[in-house]
Amino acid sequence: MDIHLVILAAGKGTRMKSARPKVLHRIAGQPLIEHVLACAATIHPRSTTIVIGHQAGDLTAALAGHHGLTYVVQEPQLGTAHALMTTEPALAGRSGTLLLLSGDVPMLTPATLQTLVNTHETAGAAATVVTAIVENPHGYGRIVRTGEQIARIVEQKDASPEERQIREINSGIYAFAIEGLFDAVRSIAAENAQKEYYLPDLVAIYRQRGAIVETVTVSNADEILGINTRVELAAVSRIVRDRKTAELMADGVTIEDPATAYVDTGVTVGADTILHPGVSLEGRTIIGRGCEIHSGARICDAHIGDRVIVLNHCVIMNATVADDACIGPFAHLRAESDVRANARVGNFVELKKTVLGAGSKANHLAYLGDATIGEKVNIGAGTITCNYDGVSKSQTVIEDGAFVGSDSQLIAPVTIGKGAYVGSGSTIRENVPAGALAVSAGKQRNLDGWVARKKKNKSGK
Ligand code: UD1
Ligand code: CA
């Protein structure tokens, strides 16, 4: 049967107390709704419709990278049943199964989604509800059963004291037969504590008509945790990160303190790499085998080779580091930096759009921006590429085997030829030919006996 996906994401998210739409808050580096879309993609829906509310523009902008999404604006937001009704025109003429997901329930697994579809279609149900049995059901709709059968769902605010004891909850995730669905939803009334149109009321309506309503109860209730508050956001983040670190450890990564390793879902790490406490690996970062990443490192959208050592407190953003290189401590690799094999970037060194060739070293206190640096080059402490003249950026080229003495300024555009030397403290404004020595610092004068004369003058006064 065709599967059509609807994701509800129009709610105000009042309890988040945020200027940002709730479903754009992030877990493990990804907005909540991206987690939902990633799970839903595994069942290959024929169509995907997202119900959005105010700040609709923020949401569509955030999802601009996805193709084939249909947006429906629900304004005002009168409840989950009302939200589903707004998709009726978008789904006109469709048949099959409608899968309804919540944008604020991000941990659902593809396996559960598949079970939901299978159970629903095998039973020929009008509706199938995903439920869970939880320790603390507070805030969720409760599943009221008569015998084995689900009879209705009652919201927290409308539940009697006895009903509040029920620990089986509604996940807000459903499968519906599209045929007759919208007519049935239209008959839902807003007669409840919140004066909203509750989609869960559909269960009682279908059951009274004698239609088949099924349930799928997940064994791990974590899967269907909904996020309504910042506390819940943090709790779910914790669970998602624990899952990720457990996966990495199963694949041969040593994580010294999983509680403080922040590894986004999209990150890959090779076997025998060691993550020390307090590392942050973000976005699409790829880390090779046998690396060692020390505390305080933040690595984002970077590509790190094998056996690389990243010492404490480095920031590596959108950069590449090849095999056997060593970075830090306190190094900053900015966008499009490319550190080649065996190279060494040390303390307080910043790279931007710079290639540091194989075996080259910039060990201390340097700024290397818009530079192409060859192999086995030595960059002395305090070297600065002056790449910006206040109007435009220019390139510095340092060829293989060159030696740049400490405290030199290389005023771009400029080229230091192969094997050339730059004397310490030079300001280099012109190209240095291969094999030459360039010195620009003034000649040194020594004034013999100057200190003694100065002291004598002072005491004489
Ligand atoms: C809902 C269910 C509850 C269930 C819980 C699971 C209802 C009435 N209650 O409660 O039984 O246990 O989810 O997490 O459905 N939304 C809209 N438009 C609206 C209202 C909500 O698009 O007018 C969206 C929200 O953005 C959200 C989802 O629907 O993604 C659920 O809404 P929310 O207000 O969070 O419902 P809950 O109170 O959590
Ligand atoms: Ca919710």
Output the pLDDT for position 269: 98
Output the pLDDT for position 250: 98
- pLDDT over 90 at 21, yes or no: yes
Q: Say which residues have a Cβ less than 8 Å from residue 441's Cβ, sequence separation at least 6.
A: 423, 424, 425, 426, 427
Q: What phi and psi values does residue 206 have, to the nearest 5 degrees?
A: -65, -40
Q: How confident is the model at residue 316 (pLDDT cuts 50, 70, 90)?
A: very high
Q: How open is the CA angle 144-145-146, to the nearest 5 degrees?
A: 130
Coil/strand/helix, residue 254: strand
Measured in angstroms, how far is the CA atom of residue 80 from the centroid of ligand 1?
6
Tokens, residue 268: 């890959």
153 Cβ closer than 6 Å to some ligand 1 atom: yes
Q: What is the mean pLDDT of residues 200-210?
A: 97
CATH superfamily of 252-438: Hexapeptide repeat proteins (2.160.10.10)
Measured in angstroms, how far is the CA atom of residue 392 from the centroid of ligand 1?
52
Q: Is 364 a catalytic residue?
A: yes
The sign of the dihedral angle between the CA atoms of 321, 324, 325, 326 is positive
User: Measured between alpha carbons, how far is 66 from 170 in angstroms, rounded to an integer?
Assistant: 29
Q: Say which residues have a Cβ less than 8 Å from residue 289's Cβ, sequence separation at least 6.
A: 270, 271, 272, 273, 306, 307
Within 10 angstroms of residue 380's Cβ, the number of other Cβ atoms is 21
User: Measured between alpha carbons, how far is 232 from 248 in angstroms, rounded to an integer?
Assistant: 24
Q: How confident is the model at residue 144 (pLDDT cuts 50, 70, 90)?
A: very high
Domain range summary for the chain, segments of one domain joined by +: 3-224, 252-438
Judged by its nearest atom, the ligand closest to the C-alpha of residue 23 is: 1
Span 3-224 CATH architecture: Alpha-Beta Complex (3.90)
45 Cβ closer than 6 Å to some ligand 1 atom: no
Output the pLDDT for position 414: 98
**What is the position in ligand 1's atom list of the atom closest to the CA of 7?**
30
Query: What confidence tens digit (pLDDT) does each residue in 214-250 have?
Result: 999 999 999 999 999 999 999 999 999 999 999 999 9
Output the pLDDT for position 55: 85
User: Measured between alpha carbons, how far is 352 from 338 in angstroms, rounded to an integer?
Assistant: 9
Q: How open is the CA angle 211-216-218, to the nearest 5 degrees?
A: 165
| Ligand 2 ion local residues (Cβ < 5 A) | 104, 226, 228
Query: What's the mean per-residue pLDDT of the chain?
Result: 96
Query: What confidence tens digit (pLDDT) does each residue in 351-368 have?
Result: 999 999 999 999 999 999
- pLDDT over 70 at 461, yes or no: no
Q: How confident is the model at residue 460 (pLDDT cuts 50, 70, 90)?
A: low
**What is the position in ligand 1's atom list of the atom closest to the CA of 11?**
26
Output the pLDDT for position 130: 98
- pLDDT over 60 at 373, yes or no: yes
- pLDDT over 90 at 318, yes or no: yes
8 Cβ closer than 6 Å to some ligand 1 atom: yes
Judged by its nearest atom, the ligand closest to the C-alpha of residue 173 is: 1
74 Cβ closer than 6 Å to some ligand 1 atom: yes
